[in-house]
Structure 1
Amino acid sequence: MRFARIEGQHGPQLCAVDDNGAARAVRFADTGEAITELQQIIAAGSGGLGRLTPDTAAVGGTLLAPIVPHRNVFCVGRNYSEHAAEFAKSGFDATGSADGQHVPEHPVVFTKPAATVIASGDAIDPHTDITSALDYEGEIGVIIGRRASKVSKADALDHVWGYTLINDMTARDLQRDHKQWFIGKSLDTFCPLGPWAVTADEIDIDDLQLQTRINGELRQDANTAQLIFDVPTIIETLSAGITLEPGDVIATGTPVGVGIGFDPPKYLTVGDEVVISAPGLGELRNVIGTPADPDHLVAAGSSRLFVEKTGSGPAVVLIHGLGGATTVYEPQVAALAENNTVLRYDLSGHGRSPVAGPNSIAGWVDELKALLDSHGIESAVLVAHSMGTLVATTFTATYPDRVSKVALLGPVKAQPDAAKTATRARARAVREGGMSAVADTILGAALSPTTHEGRPVAVTAVRELLLGQDPAGYAFACEALAAAVEPDFASISVPVLLLTGDADKVSPVAVNEELLATFPNAQLNVLEGVGHWHSLEDPTSVTHRLQDFLAKP
């Protein structure tokens, strides 16, 4: 079967695609459950396909990527011998393969973030501000259907659900200059995927012709029989020490004919169309779009804000707290974007949003309203952290018709006098000594002992967030927090999720219990061994709590 994911008038729907290209939404016949993502079918196991029934009417709308994996896309490099040779000769290979040993002895594996996935038909951002060597790589993508750990080649294909097409877009100069492949292959929009996900029984993966055309010119034309490491070998290699999960995606490598292989190189430019095709898998079509604002700044009232938009469906807006930025929610974005349009932004004066002078909670509320208006969002779920919870609750109390739910991570109330004095003193310290004057103190108090002892990645992430702040913007934000006035919490009638850590000193459990008794429709979750930076200290639990909250009517 072939499946497409389409955004229609009823939101995202998973559709079966017939031989004429008509797409019809599917559901489980025995339960009537609507299917909005491929993961639902994969999770249903071997009997999932047999339970499906299609709707009568064909579905129209915007084509989405058929699957967005929960974690990075696994990729295999230099997996066709002729491509390995052309890459070795190009001068852009920083892996040391130019000595004649261009055919690797073992699979060369790297990853691309799931957030780079876009659909067939979406525009590819050329990122002209940081690269002048934009290249394409047509590939076959493998979709894992069953958990695979230490799987042998003989059993590997039993763990494959199906296949799709992938364009492993690459900035060759970044790939070369950074001496590894992650950055050069992981820019926004650099993983077009689709148009369909096709079940394994319809594809002969050992004899599949893969082609790539640029503006109609055939550039790549090879067969999977030419793979150096076939799909079973790739799965055996990866699963030897990495458990592959249902819904994981593996890009199997690209054949000869990429732009860097020509003399002179044939790089992609604005307006070029890339079409990747294979029998049974359709055509993955994308055009190189016009360069985005290199700063990704969006006008919101009188402010210019750094904004990132991912996924499609009902709107979910992520608001960070004091000293935060959009990256606070990086571990959650891919999962939330599977069924939602996720909008995250840096509050003015934070992260990559310019400092525009003194701030206030009311000013940030105005920014949020302007941001929603500029994106045509009438109603959204707000997810907020720490100081951002005052922005979210004040906005909800002021514009109740614009909010459907609120998730508050480490919610705070207006500060008592002693805390106000300390916060204003912190603002003075930052103005005098920069962020390094307060970073260690904040880290010591805001993270749990469990995090300090066993989560070094989280500690580093928070430290980098703090040290990356503009001192003036951070100081203004401290003063805004000290001057904050509480909204009328009791007037907020929409569902509210309160989420804190048992070691959160900024938002203790007792404060959350007070809020639980104040909000008319709230629930409280307490994370064990977690301090105040919940989304980074225990990202998996936070993701699951948010998914559960969003799924409830």
Structure 2
Amino acid sequence: MRFARIQTETGAQICAVDENGAARAVRFADTGESITTLQQVIDAGSAATDRLTAATAAEGGKLLAPIVPHRNVFCVGRNYSEHAAEFAKSGFDATGSADGQHVPQYPVVFTKPAATVIASGDAIDPHTDITSALDYEGEIGVIIGKRASKVSKEDALDYVWGYTLINDMTARDLQRDHKQWFIGKSLDTFCPLGPWAVTADEIDIDDLQLQTRVNGELRQDTNTSQLIFDVATIIETLSAGITLEAGDVIATGTPVGVGIGFDPPKYLVPGDEVVISAPGLGELRNVIGEPSDPDHLVAAGTSRLFVEKTGTGPAVVLIHGLGGSTTVYEPQVAALAETHTVLRYDLSGHGRSPVAGPNSITGWVEELKALLDAEGIEQTALVAHSMGTLVATTFAATYPDRVSKLALLGPVKAQPDAAKTATRARARTVREGGMSAVADTILGAALSSTTHESKPVTVAAVRELLLGQDPAGYASACEALAAAENPDFASISVPVLLLTGDGDKVSPVAVNEELLGIYPSAQLNVLEGVGHWHSLEDPASVTHRLQDFLVKP
């Protein structure tokens, strides 16, 4: 059975793909449970496919990677003899033996981070700022179906759930220069995987023709019967001391015909299309994208924003507050990326996003809209902190169709007159004396006594965040906050999570209780011993509550 993962208007769906390529969302017939990740199917065991029933056709959605493993992708190098020979002759093999024996005696194993996985159809970042030797490697990927420890070669294939295609993208110069393979093979977007995942019963893994084409030119064309170490041997070797888990992915090695095997080498450049195919597994098709901004700055209207993006699934955008940056959400990103495409960015004038003129809440709202448009995101959940909650709620009130949920950490309202005066005074102080003139005062008021007493690393992290701000940008943001007006809170009908700390002086419980009575659909969580920097003061609790809120219907 062939499975694809498709992003639809209602979220990610696992779909069955028929012989004509048509995809239909599936669910468990006996429980009615919808299926959003392949892991659900794998965990249901060998009888899972018998429990599935097809639901609606998945039309117009974006194809996602069928599976994103929960840990690094295991990879096997030099596993076809002809490729091992071409690699040895290329001058890029810093691990070759001195006696010239290019065929390894034992499987050569390395890993790629799960975060490098992208889908068929996604662009591959060429990373032209750090490599000029971009290469492809078409491979068969193995998906483990159940826990495997000390498995014999004879039993190994019983632990395979299915197969997929992988492009083990490689920066050859980095692979050579660093004397090992992790860095050269682990750059962002360097593990295209898909388009489907296919159950093992449909694939003859010992006789499977693997091909790679670049711009239509056939470069690799080899059968898996030519593997030096077959799939069973690889599983036996890995599981001898490493317990393999259901959902683990293993890339089995690439055949002869990679770019460095030619004279001169045929490296990939922006615009090249790489297509990897095998009977029954479809075509993994990716284009080498245009070079990205080395500062990761994305044009959003008149602003240039520092943006970080990871994960697959429904979109969630993380918005920091005054004096913050993307770093505020560092403890939460990995967990949220298991189920969502996580987009976090620095507001203009904050962190690594340069000042784009006088700041204002409405300006940041339009900046967010431009960013979503640039990323092709029609609708998203928003997670926002402090001043960022005014950006998020104003955006939700202005563009209600673009928001699915709101999680507001330490939500604030427009300031009363006395607070406006104090905020404008802070702006003047920063312009005159820099961030060091206000950082310690802010720390004293913004963090709870518990954090001050028992979490010195958190205190230091927040202090560094503040001191790292551009004074002009911070001062402009203070003036924007002082000038802010409340949006129409009552018009926001999407689910809202209000999250504050019992020691939060900026967003006290009373303010949150007032907002709870205004929003049509809201819930309130109060964290014990936490001040205003919730995601850093109690990261585990914030992560848990965000996961629960974002995932449930």
Could you tell me the TM-score, scaled by structure 2's length? 0.80
- Counterparts of 2:146 and 2:201, CA distance in 1: 15
Percent identity, aligned pairs only, is 77
Letter in 1 for 2:249: V
SS at structure 2 position matched to 1:265? coil
Structure 1 residues 369, 226: CA separation in 2 closer, same or farther (over 3 Å shift)?
Answer: closer
Q: Which moved more, 1:165-174 or 1:287-296?
A: 287-296
Residue of structure 1 in register with 2:355 after alignment: 355
Letter in 2 for 1:286: N
1:254 partnered with 2:254: yes
Cα contact 1:156–1:236 (8 A) shared by 2: no
SS at structure 1 position matched to 2:46? helix
Taking the TM superposition and a 5 Å limit, the aligned residue runs for 1:219-234 are 219=220, 221=222, 223=224, 226-228=227-229, 230=231, 233-234=234-235
SS at structure 2 position matched to 1:46? coil
Residue of structure 2 in register with 1:498 after alignment: 498
Instruction: Give the superposition deviation at 1:392.
Output: 1.2
Residue of structure 2 in register with 1:320 after alignment: 320
Letter in 1 for 2:199: T
Q: Which moved more, 1:484-493 or 1:283-292?
A: 484-493
SS at structure 2 position matched to 1:45? coil
Q: Which moved more, 1:201-210 or 1:386-395?
A: 201-210
- Counterparts of 2:438 and 2:78, CA distance in 1: 47
If you compute each CA radius of gyration, which structure gives the higher value, 1 or 2?
Answer: 2
Taking the TM superposition and a 5 Å limit, the aligned residue runs for 1:320-469 are 320-326=320-326, 328-329=328-329, 342-372=342-372, 379-400=379-400, 402-413=402-413, 421=422, 425=426, 428=429, 432=433, 438=439, 442=443, 446=447, 469=469
Instruction: Give the superposition deviation at 1:375.
Output: 5.7
1:46 partnered with 2:39: no
Structure 1 residues 67, 195: CA separation in 2 closer, same or farther (over 3 Å shift)?
Answer: same
Cα contact 1:270–1:289 (8 A) shared by 2: yes
Instruction: Give the superposition deviation at 1:2.
Output: 1.2
Q: Which runs of 5+ in 1 are unaligned?
A: none
- Counterparts of 1:229 and 1:440, CA distance in 2: 63
Instruction: Give the superposition deviation at 1:407.
Output: 0.7
Cα contact 1:70–1:334 (8 A) shared by 2: no
Letter in 2 for 1:261: G
Taking the TM superposition and a 5 Å limit, the aligned residue runs for 1:536-547 are 542-547=542-547
Letter in 1 for 2:275: V
Residue of structure 2 in register with 1:216 after alignment: 217
SS at structure 1 position matched to 2:130? coil
Residue of structure 2 in register with 1:110 after alignment: 111
Instruction: Give the superposition deviation at 1:35.
Output: 3.1
* CA shift digits 1:455-504 (9 cap, x unpaired): 97x89986876666444334433454455555454554432112345676
1:169 partnered with 2:169: yes
* CA shift digits 1:8-52 (9 cap, x unpaired): 676644222233434333222223344343233223333321101
Structure 1 residues 7, 490: CA separation in 2 closer, same or farther (over 3 Å shift)?
Answer: closer
Letter in 2 for 1:253: G
Structure 1 residues 368, 272: CA separation in 2 closer, same or farther (over 3 Å shift)?
Answer: closer
Cα contact 2:302–2:356 (8 A) shared by 1: no
- Counterparts of 1:522 and 1:250, CA distance in 2: 43
Instruction: Give the superposition deviation at 1:364.
Output: 1.5
Structure 1 residues 77, 61: CA separation in 2 closer, same or farther (over 3 Å shift)?
Answer: same
* CA shift digits 1:287-333 (9 cap, x unpaired): 32343455554443432333456677754332123344345446655
Cα contact 1:78–1:104 (8 A) shared by 2: no
- Counterparts of 1:84 and 1:43, CA distance in 2: 36
Letter in 2 for 1:108: V
Structure 1 residues 418, 37: CA separation in 2 closer, same or farther (over 3 Å shift)?
Answer: same
Instruction: Give the superposition deviation at 1:113.
Output: 3.9
- Counterparts of 1:257 and 1:284, CA distance in 2: 17
* CA shift digits 1:126-164 (9 cap, x unpaired): 23343221111222222233355x554466555432221
Letter in 1 for 2:111: F
Residue of structure 1 in register with 2:302 after alignment: 302
Cα contact 2:420–2:483 (8 A) shared by 1: no
SS at structure 1 position matched to 2:69? coil
Structure 1 residues 309, 490: CA separation in 2 closer, same or farther (over 3 Å shift)?
Answer: same
Structure 1 residues 95, 328: CA separation in 2 closer, same or farther (over 3 Å shift)?
Answer: farther
Q: Which moved more, 1:30-39 or 1:259-268?
A: 30-39
- Counterparts of 1:47 and 1:96, CA distance in 2: 45
- Counterparts of 2:204 and 2:530, CA distance in 1: 48
- Counterparts of 2:62 and 2:15, CA distance in 1: 12
Instruction: Give the superposition deviation at 1:225.
Output: 5.8
- Counterparts of 2:460 and 2:76, CA distance in 1: 29
Cα contact 1:387–1:411 (8 A) shared by 2: yes
Taking the TM superposition and a 5 Å limit, the aligned residue runs for 1:15-34 are 15-34=15-34
* CA shift digits 1:254-306 (9 cap, x unpaired): 34432223333221123333222233322212232343455554443432333
Could you tell me the TM-score, scaled by structure 1's length? 0.80
- Counterparts of 1:351 and 1:29, CA distance in 2: 49
Q: Which moved more, 1:305-314 or 1:61-70?
A: 305-314
Q: Aligned-pair RMSD on alpha carbons?
A: 4.4
